Structure 1
Amino acid sequence: MFKSFVIAGCIAAAGLCPAAVFCAGLGTTLDRARFPSEVLILRGDLQRLISPAALSPAEVTGLEGRIKSALTGLSWLALEYDALTRSGIDRKLLQDLDRSWAKRDLVSAEALADELSRRYTLNSAIFSAGRAGAEDLERARELDLQLCQGCHTDKVGTEKILPAYPLREMAANMPSEEFLARLLSGVRGASDTALANPLSLGDIRGLLRLYQGDTVD
């Protein structure tokens, strides 16, 4: 039986303060991934906001809300990441990013988010779709059928603040690391996992393989 969880609207889902959640299925692997994941999502959201021609006014509002929420929690995530990795987070970069957003200088904000993503990289190799086994892929298919497809049906341009786009389309239309980041940060558990992401490492690998279009012979 599946652990109960929800996949938040991956474009506009608000982040949670790390002090309020703990990791379930991925444990400390997710702890180390939260900050770089949020940076990748933030960069992608800024890129979409810079070129919003296909987006509805509601989608633009949702993007703005998600970016504001992400920036509010980014310093907390940076503290967690620094404590775990001793990476020495550049606080000035974070402050400059906040200032650029406050001035609505989207190009500058996107460039700063990109710089953060290059300095503090997400360890995507451990989640590689190529490491998914047949059992991982089969479970991913079941998760997709029973828990994902029912909600992820919105098209770009829909009049929704929190749209849930088809996951295969998302995987095809954004960098692979950003899509991984959205799987890691956009999935929330229920009360039995204190809202933490309940997916296992095998689940993530299987879902990546499924949505990237790979098949098992």
Structure 2
Amino acid sequence: MLFGIAVVVVLFMTETPAMADRSLPQELAAELLIVRSDLVRLTNEPGLPATHAEGLQQRIKGSLGLLPWLLQQAHDEAGADQLLKAQSSRRLLITVLNQLIIRHPLDTAPYATEHLTPTQRREASAIHDAYCASCHDDMGDGDEASILPSRDLFLMAKESSSEAFLARLINGVKGDETMLFTNPLTPRQISALWLYYRKR
């Protein structure tokens, strides 16, 4: 599991998986949104179970270890330096992330939902039922004893910003070793799931 979304292996694909030629700028943009969302949740929900708070802290630490490198690859050495210096203060870190998100916006065009066909919309439901429902449905915020709980995806979509939830679908879904653990979903499948979870 990664970023609160379970591992998914999708076998019925007619397009190239979204991550088969994933660009580092998109990975960077999505990761910035995810870590900010986790930080805001950690800050705004002081009543989180201790295990959930620990899991969020671990995910944030992992993201903050990766982001400076991604920023350097995007030729934003100043941003990488800002991020490293801001890690002593959660409030300052969120401020810096806000600035970086503006500088490195997520390109949502490949995931526009208005061009989805009825078949693609139905496929989102089938993907959810086959690969996601057994771990996530009716789970609320997840098992209190779990550090990385399987949360209800419909709840996550409702509580997150639309863009942050899309970022989790892009960076947070992984295939198995046969796909080198990259995201097996196509952009259209991600788009359909993005719509499915928000509109139900």
- TM superposition score category, shorter chain reference: 0.7 to 0.9
5+ residue gaps, structure 1:
1-7, 14-23, 83-87
Distance 1:79 1:196, change over 3 A: farther
Q: Pick from 33, 37, 45: which aligns with 2:26? A: 33
Give runs of ≥4 in structure 1 deviating > 4 Å.
none
Distance 1:63 1:53, change over 3 A: same
Q: Pick from 79, 82, 89: which aligns with 1:93? A: 79
5+ residue gaps, structure 2:
7-15
Equivalent position of 1:156 in the other structure: 141
Q: TM-score with structure 2 length normalisation?
A: 0.85
- Quick one: which amino acid aligns to residue 161 of structure 2? P
Residue 202 of structure 1: how far off its partner (Å) = 1.2
Equivalent position of 1:49 in the other structure: 42
**1:30-79 deviation digits (Å, cap 9, x = unpaired):** 54410000000011111112122241101110111001100111133234
Residue 143 of structure 1: how far off its partner (Å) = 0.6
Equivalent position of 1:70 in the other structure: 63
Q: Take 2:59 and 2:194, find their aligned partners in 1: how far apart are those partners?
A: 23
Structure 1 vs Structure 2 CA RMSD: 2.0
Percent of residue pairs identical: 27
Distance 1:76 1:12, change over 3 A: farther
Distance 1:212 1:182, change over 3 A: same
Q: Take 1:196 and 1:132, find their aligned partners in 2: how far apart are those partners?
A: 23
Equivalent position of 1:187 in the other structure: 173
CA contact (8 A) 1:25 1:200 kept: yes
DSSP-derived class of the 2:174 partner: strand
Equivalent position of 2:12 in the other structure: none
**1:132-187 deviation digits (Å, cap 9, x = unpaired):** 21121121111100101111143337232101211111111111110000000110
Equivalent position of 1:18 in the other structure: none
Q: Take 2:159 and 2:118, find their aligned partners in 1: how far apart are those partners?
A: 25
CA contact (8 A) 1:12 1:62 kept: no
Q: TM-score with structure 1 length normalisation?
A: 0.79
- Quick one: which amino acid aligns to residue 200 of structure 1? T
For this pair of structures, how many residues does the alignment match? 188
